[in-house]
Homo-oligomer: A and B are copies of this chain.
Amino acid sequence: MTTVVDTEFPAPAGVRSGAFGNATHLICRACGATSPLGPFYACMECFGPLEVGYAYPTVTRAQIEAGPKSIWRYQPLLPVPADIATFRSTDPGFTRLVDARQLADELGLKQLWVKDDSGNPTHSFKDRVVAVALSAARELGLQVLACPSTGNLANAVAAAAARAGIRSVVFIPSDLEPQKITASAIYDTTLIAIEGNYDDVNKLASEIAGEEEGWAFVNVNVRPYYAEGSKTLAFEIAEQLGWRLPDQIVVPVASGSQLTKIDKGIGELIKLGLVEDKPVKIFGAQATGCSPVAQAYRAGHDVVAPVKPSTIAKSLAIGNPADGPYVLDAVRRTGGVVADVGDDVVVDNIRRLARTEGIFAETAGGVTIGVTAKLIADGVLDPAAETVVINSGEGLKTLDAVSGLVGPRVTLPPHYDAFTDFWTTNA
Contact = CB atoms under 8 A, between A and B. Distances in A.
A360 B122 contact: yes
Contacts of A396: 123, 183, 394, 396-397
A300 interface: no
Copies per assembly: 2
Nearest to A180: B399
A278 B186 CA distance: 38
A188 B348 CA distance: 12
A137 interface: no
Contacts of A407: 181-182, 185, 191
Nearest to A361: B186
Contacts of A332: none
Given A196-B414, A408-B193, A91 B96 contact: yes
Interface in A181-236: 181-183, 185-188, 190-196, 200-201, 203-204, 207-208, 211-212
A190 B416 contact: no
Contacts of A422: 192
A192 B121 contact: no
A33 to B, nearest CB: 30
Nearest to A356: B162
A185 B358 contact: no
B172 A208 contact: no
Interface string A345-379: 00000110011111110000000000000000000
A413 interface: yes
Interface in A162-190: 162-163, 165, 172, 174, 178-179, 181-183, 185-188, 190
A400 to B, nearest CB: 9
Given A194-B414, A397-B396, A406-B182, A188 B354 contact: yes
A103 to B, nearest CB: 10
A419 to B, nearest CB: 6
A162 B357 contact: yes
Given A208-B416, A360-B183, A172 B408 contact: yes
Interface residues of A, number: 77
A372 to B, nearest CB: 18
Contacts of A354: 159, 162, 186-188
Contact of A121 (B186, B200, B359): B359
A358 B155 CA distance: 9
A88 interface: yes
Q: Which 4 pairs between the two chains have the least Cβ-Cβ distance?
A: A163-B358, A159-B358, A185-B406, A193-B408
Given A119-B119, A172-B408, A192-B422, 7 more contacts: A88-B101, A159-B359, A159-B360, A162-B355, A191-B408, A192-B410, A207-B416
16 contacts: A90-B358, A91-B96, A123-B123, A158-B358, A162-B358, A163-B358, A179-B403, A182-B402, A182-B403, A186-B402, A190-B426, A194-B414, A195-B414, A204-B419, A208-B416, A211-B416
